[in-house]
Amino acid sequence: MIDLHTHTIFSDGDLVPFELVRRAEAIGYTALAITDHMDASNLDLVIPRIVKAIEKLKPYVSIDVLPGAEITHAPPELIADLVKEARHLGARIVVVHGETIAEPVKKGTNRAAIEAGADILSHPGLISIEDMFLAREKQVLLEITARRGHAFTNGYIVKEAVRFGFPLCINTDAHSPSDLITKEQAKLVLLGAGVEDNRIESIFENSKALVDKALRRN
C-alpha cells in the first residue's frame, strides 16, 4: 500500500509520526506521506518538525516516508503561494484539501489547487469536467478516498476518470490507527467506487510514480 495523505498530532490525527509510520509498516505499506492540515499559521512550524522526525527515523524503517502538507480551507487566492512555501520548507508531497461535499470548502479551491501544481487534489467532490481535464494536463492526481464522508463522491470521480482517462490515486486520509488499510482493502474501496479490476493496478502505479518523483526532488 502507498498512502500519500495521512495526519498526525501536528494537526487532528491521533498518533505521533513514529507510531503512524510503524503501524503503516506493520500492515505492509511500502510508502507513506505525512500531510497534516496546514495554512499560513503553521506551515513553518509543522513541516520542519515532520522533516526532522522522518530524517531521524529513516535508517530504521523499511518503507519510504515523505514529508508533506495538506493545504486546508485556504482561500483559493492564497493556495499558489502556500503550495510554493510548503515545497520551500521541505514538503515533498503537497496535497490540497478539495471541495468535498462533506465540508464547506470554498468554491474555486479545486481549480486553484490544480493551477498551483499541487501533487494531489484530495477528495475533490463533484469536481467539474473542465477541472479534471486541467488536472490531467498539470499531472495532478485526483484522490479516491477511503475516508468516510469524503468518499461519498468517489463513484462520480471514477466514472468520469474512466471515461476520459483522468489520473487517480487512492489514499486513506488517516487520522487514527483504524483508518490505515492494506492494499487488499484499498482494492475493495476502488472496486466499490466502480473501478474495474483490470484498471486497479494502474492507480497504484500512479502513486508509485509520484513517490519516485518526490524522492528525486531537491
pLDDT in tens, the chain (218 residues): 999 999 999 999 999 999 999 999 999 999 999 999 999 999 999 999 999 999 999 999 999 999 999 999 999 999 999 999 999 999 999 999 999 999 999 999 999 999 999 999 999 999 999 999 999 999 999 999 999 999 999 999 999 999 999 999 999 999 999 999 999 999 999 999 999 999 999 999 999 999 999 999 86
Lookup result for grid cell 518538525: 49
Residue 148: what pLDDT? 94
Give CA–CA dist 197/208, Å, rounded.
18
3-state helix/strand/coil string of the chain: CEECCECCCCCCCCCCHHHHHHHHHHCCCCEEEECCEECCCCHHHHHHHHHHHHHHHHHHCCCEEEEEEEECCCCHHHHHHHHHHHHHHCCCEEEEECCCCCCCCCCCHHHHHHHCCCCEEECCCCCCHHHHHHHHHHCCEEEEECCCCHHHHHHHHHHHHHHHCCCEEEECCECCHHHCCCHHHHHHHHHHHCCCHHHHHHHHHHHHHHHHHHHHCC
- What domains lie within the chain, and their CATH numbers? 2-216 (3.20.20.140)
- The amino acid present at 184, given as its one-letter code, is E
Nearest Cα neighbor of 1 from 172, 218, 131 is: 172
Contact 67, 51 (CB under 8 A): yes
- State the pTM of this model: 0.97
Rounded CA-CA distance 43/27 in Å is 30
Tell me how far the alpha carbon of residue 218 is from its chain's centroid: 20
Dihedral sign for Cα atoms in the order 92, 98, 100, 106? positive
pLDDT on residue 217: 82
